[in-house]
Amino acid sequence: MQDKLDFLIERVQKQNPQANIKKIRAAYACAAAAHEGQKRRNGEPYIIHPVSVAEIIVEMGLDTDSICAGLLHDCIEDTPFGYKEIENKFGTPVAELVDGVTRLGMLRYSKEQEQFEDLRKMFMAMAKDIRVILIKLADRLHNARTFQFLPERKQRDKALETMEIYAPIAHRLGMSRIKWELEDLSLKVLDPIGYNEIVEGLKAQSEQHEEFLGRIRARISQKLSEAHIENTISTRVKHVYSIYRKMYAQHKTIDEIYDICAVRVIVSSVSDCYHVLGYVHDLYKPIPGRFKDYISTPKPNGYQSLHTTVIGREGIPFEIQIRTEEMHKMAEYGVAAHWKYKQGLDRKGNEEAFAWIRQMLEAQQDTEAEDFIKNIKVDLFADEVFVFTPKGDVVNMPAGATPIDFAYAIHSAVGNRMTGCKLNGRIAPIDSQLKNGDIVEILTSKEAHGPGRDWVKIVKTTEARNKIKQWFKKECREENIANGREELDRELRANLLYNGFYENEEIQKNTLNKFSFSTLDELYASIGYGGITLTKVINKVKDDVGRLRRAHELAERQNQSQPEQRRTAKSTTGVVVEGIDNCLVKFARCCTPIPGDEIIGFVTRGYGVSIHRRDCVNVHVEEDPDRWVKAWWDEEVDHSDRTSRFSTGLQISTRSRIGVLSDVTAVLATCKINVHDLSARDLNDGFGVINAMVDVAGVRQLENLISRLRGIKGVLDVTRTVDTN
């Protein structure tokens, strides 16, 4: 292990001559003693891992404390060596860094809550000291390099987590070199066949690529030398994952992908960048729409460069990036470049560079775990557009953002007072999608009349969505309660759950506990301002009502003391009514009962007995008990007979997608379901509804049909409805 330490010290002295070598050696000795006897899954001594993490940290160019923290990062979690010991020997900054990395470990809650807590702690640690996440990225990178020693299931879980969380964070921090390696190592686990196909394809074309790039490098170098522009030119083939994404998006093989080569030109000044761009466009034909100027409008992570895609003489497109040396270091090392070349960030730099971290922390307030995780992933992966204020200030927004997002990005008060907007000097709809270069002017009133309720569905950014919800939560409590109750009652009735919810305190209590509310008013208010979705509440109630119903049916079957007496009454309709032989029976259209449903009869005046489902909203036994009679399905009648069919309604909630209706009808035909009525309509928010009246033999066949329909791409849910004809 001495060789490993000597190699680390040699790299430290080369990268940072001012580093405290004595302190680093002491940290290594402490880590080696703490991990004495521990082994990694590949059989190596455990100390190999922290030393490798420290090497990555050295490559990033971080300071002595970061290197020491990298060596000690597993001590608090995996050894008896604790925070106090680290603080006493190496100082508070090192101890806090190690503690910060340790705190990013997972908490053992449900899957959603577990990931939510992990992400929340990560962003809190980043906001306090950005070096914590840099050390964590180094830790994850070395672990990714040894994924192959994990069990197969754990490999996939860790690779997916790396692809969804850590690679995007590396991208957001501008650390492209680490991002690329994390993506490639994860892809190797998640799709080994696709990964190997690309690697083998690149090997087969390596000589061709080398020759092609060599000619380009020589030609550009000669042109720039003639223009007396100092330059450094490098060439590369794009990394595996970027090629994989292009193949997947364009449905092509690697032989059909041409723009996989890239050239980078590094010059000494910004003016030289633009001069080089002119010379490049003289040498090669640029592809329209493929030029991007990230120098005048840097990316949010600080990345600056000129990008242009051109076509060589061979007809093969390739990308050229032009930047200064300082821009190149920022592109390679991202935020770590501040330590590598400026020895740390000042307070102002921290606030400007990492405002997005603060916004993500604010976004987790009053947000459910599932929504927070989804929004974080959207924010991390979002492509940007750059727009201008009327004064010419540049504001970056995620692709698809609207003027409402822009208003709330400026300030909450601007969004709450917004009445309209102008794009490029003209009045425009507030739900317009912003484009690069738009000049956005927000029209406001002096009084804060507040946002519209539909704005939550319009906005793109998590920040705007949460600020809108907070306004409604604070300003409109009574209105929220009224609207929330109305919405909940409507959905409960539509799903035949109204009585089941309001007549059972246990179901109400379970629902409130599930979503951490203490009263029904709090639940109504949250629904009213959009803090919780109706679908989640309805699904919870549906599960509880179904569970209690099944328990009730089981108890009835067990307590039935005279099963023979139950069959004494006869029926020609498939339904037996207690005490009445062959009475006139009709099935209520308000709830469309089918065999397998728990039913009850209502004696009508002159029209026999009307059969309802027990959970029908129109069943009120207490109001007219003499007219309600027991009823059940005749077990001696074969309801699977195709001549005995029962109609019921289905409501299919979908995303708006071309072909979803034809897919639904195909499933109905495959299941040999007779359809009485079929209608479809689009909603305003990208969703749609399909209503159908179908004939089925009973609950079992209906449940099978619903299961098949829910498996269709774009179908969100399928529920039984009433016949409104």
Token digits of residue 604: 């009508």
Dist. CA 385–CA 188, nearest whole Å: 32
CA distances to 114, 121, 186, 461, 533 from 117, in Å = 5, 6, 23, 21, 21
In contact, 629 and 614? CB cutoff 8 Å: no
* 35 contact partners, CB below 8 Å, separation of at least 6: 45, 46, 47, 50, 74, 75, 78, 79
6 included as an active-site residue: no
3-state secondary structure 207-233: HHHHHHHHHHHHHHHHHHHHCCCCCEE
Cα torsion angle, 199, 205, 206, 210, sign: negative
438 included as an active-site residue: no
Provide the β-strand partners of residue 691. Answer: 651, 679
* 699 contact partners, CB below 8 Å, separation of at least 6: 594, 595, 596, 597
Token digits of residue 551: 């328990």
Token digits of residue 5: 């330490």
Provide the β-strand partners of residue 422. Answer: 427, 441
Radius of gyration for the chain, computed over Cα atoms and rounded to the nearest angstrom = 33
Token digits of residue 387: 């727009």
Token digits of residue 205: 């074309």
Catalytic-labelled residue, pool 10, 36, 77, 635:
77
Catalytic-labelled residue, pool 10, 36, 78, 325:
78
In contact, 704 and 695? CB cutoff 8 Å: no
Query: What one-character DSSP code corresponds to residue 346?
Result: -
β-strand pairing of 261-267 with 317-324: parallel
* 412 contact partners, CB below 8 Å, separation of at least 6: 467, 471
Cα torsion angle, 178, 182, 183, 185, sign: positive
Residues with a known catalytic role: 77-78
